[in-house]
Amino acid sequence: MKTLISLRLLLAGAFINLTAFGADPVKREFLAGADRADITPDLGILIVGSFNPTPAKHVHDPLYARTLVLDDGSTRLAFVLVDNVGVPQIVCDEAKRLITEATGLPRSHVLIASTHTHSGGSARERSDTAAGEIRDGFPGTTPTLTTYQSFIARRVSDSVRTAINRLEPAKIGWGAGSEPNQVFNRRWFVKSEENRRNPFGGVDTVRMNPPSNPAELIKPAGPIDPEISFISVQSTTGRPIAVLANYSLHYVGGIPIGVISGDYFGVFDRRLGEMVGGDKSDPTFVGIMSNGTSGDINNINFRNRGPGVAPYEKMNRVGNAVAAEVYRAYQSVQYQDWVKLDARYEEIALEPRRPTPEMVAYARQLLEKPRAPGEKPWHTNELTYARSVVRAVNATSLRVPIQALRVGDLGIAATPIETLVEIGLELKARTPMPKTFTISIANGAYGYMPTVEQHKLGGYESWLGTNRVELEAAPKMVTRLLSMMTEMQGDATASR
């Protein structure tokens, strides 16, 4: 013991002597780099996001993979937001393989997420929106990438490599604003049974996107989250490099059929760049908007829709409003010249959503003997969901990716699914970090994830096919994400 104490005193004395003679201790340097890579597909590709995919005929504005890379000297993280309705896990995995092969960056330290624009080319294996992706537990699929999937994987890898090439000494800060005027819960309690029918021959308690009839509407079935959280990175001289923002709002649409567009996510990038003066910088500033927990949130005020708007007007209005609020908060951000980075990644076991015998019998009846011409269907999309029910009979167990990242005192959760807002609010309330937000549709795209309580109410987000994971998926993901953040918080405390 005396020998150990003497050694510690000797080392401490050596440090004091080095400092006294002008020798600096090990210097910690923080680096950042950003990039924007074009992923616009060829015309003719199917635009998905509705029950009737249509070929692309025009490009209104390009689609991008927007990337931010951070490096604290010992740990490097990459965030990539892709303008797509939902990039499947096999595409994310291929992009990460290419990134690791070229840069050595481990896949656990790369977050690849979709913005969820409904006016982009399909990166799915099947065209029907209820079906999902290859690794959804349905049998009879093969992990062969399509041409566009391979293109996305390569461009994401290129974007990360370019952002790494641009790494430079930087300072980082974060903040938050609030824009409640653009977010509305789209799940409603409504009066009539007809407006609550589901495609399985039953009647739900709530309805997604109800008709705007004041006499029919009772109340929303859930809350909203108006917060816009963001990370801001600047060069040491104050040149804006990038902002990574997070808002719990779906795409907003208002884009003509057959037109490719990045929706309000693209508008946010352009407008914020103009506001911070980074649109003329070299490298150009990158404004990245990520999709928060918006599975039940859209931009429709069902009690007062107001007059119709011209094409692209809504996405411009929302993008400008969100950029303005971020810019307001951006001006008071306090920057640090170094923060600790960390990441955790797991693939947790979940059971697939399986149909009841009654659902299977109803689906087979519909598929074997469709309703006669002129006969009104029970539900408009009953045949689409009947096919999903039949496929799900032999669904296999899933390994679903979740991820937690640490940027200083900020925690970021990542779920591979369209996550309902209540889940994001719970993570914010229970986080062990001083501040946390959630990026949805990250590292995969496994449909929707309601809370257990929202499952009981029914509605589109809970339907088998739209929802493909077990009813207890939300509490399982929340518990593990919080545990991962606690681990990172503990490691950070121990290293101080």
Give residue-wise pLDDT tens across range 287-329: 999 999 999 999 999 999 888 899 999 999 999 999 999 999 9
Q: Identify the pLDDT of residue 370.
A: 82
pLDDT in tens, 399-452: 999 999 999 999 999 999 999 999 999 999 999 999 999 999 999 999 999 999
Residue 418 C-beta-side C-alpha neighbours within 13 Å: 23
Give the other-Cβ count within 10 Å of 51's Cβ. Answer: 11
Integer CA distances (angstroms), 252 to 203, 263, 471, in order = 28, 7, 28
Which amino acid does the sequence have at 409?
Answer: D
Q: Where are the beta strands (DSSP E) in 248-311?
A: 259-260, 286-291, 297-298
Instruction: Please state whether the peptide bond connecting residue 283 to the residue before it is cis, i.e. omega within 30 degrees of 0.
Output: yes
Mean pLDDT, residues 340-364 taken together: 97
Check: CB of residue 205 under 8 Å from CB of residue 185: no
- Cβ atoms of 183 and 224 closer than 8 Å: yes
Residue 50: predicted pLDDT: 73
Q: Rounded to two decimals, what is the model's pTM? A: 0.91
> Distance (Å, rounded) from C-alpha 105 to C-alpha 100?
5
| pLDDT band per the 50, 70, 90 thresholds, residue 140 | very low
pLDDT at 15 over 50: no
Mean pLDDT along residues 96-120: 97
d(CA 330, CA 299): 24
Q: Residue 216 burial by CB count (10 A; 0-12/13-18/19+): exposed, middle or buried?
A: middle
* Dist CA 177 CA 268 (whole Å): 14
CA atoms in the 13 A half-sphere facing the CB of 453 = 7
Residue 28: per-residue pLDDT? 86
pLDDT of residue 27: 65
**pLDDT value of position 48:** 86
Torsion angle in degrees (nearest 10) through CA of 123, 126, 131, 132? -20
> Which helix or strand (DSSP H or E) is residue 276 part of?
helix 263-276
Name the average pLDDT for the chain: 91
Average pLDDT of span 51-60: 92
Q: What stretches of 277-337 show up as alpha helix (H) in DSSP?
A: 313-330
Does residue 20 carry a pLDDT above 50? no
Per mean pLDDT, which range of 3-12, 35-44, 91-100, 251-260 is the poorest? 3-12
Instruction: In whole angstroms, give the CA distance from residue 225 to residue 382.
Output: 32
Question: What residue spans of 331-443 are helical by DSSP H?
Answer: 357-368, 382-392, 421-430
- More confident site: 256 or 52: 256
> Would you say residue 136 has pLDDT above 90?
no
Nearest to 152 by CA among 208, 209, 84, 213: 84
For the stretch 177-225, pLDDT in tens is 999 999 999 999 999 999 999 999 999 999 999 998 899 999 999 999 9
Tell me the C-alpha distance between 77 and 348, whole Å.
22
Return the pLDDT at 396. 94
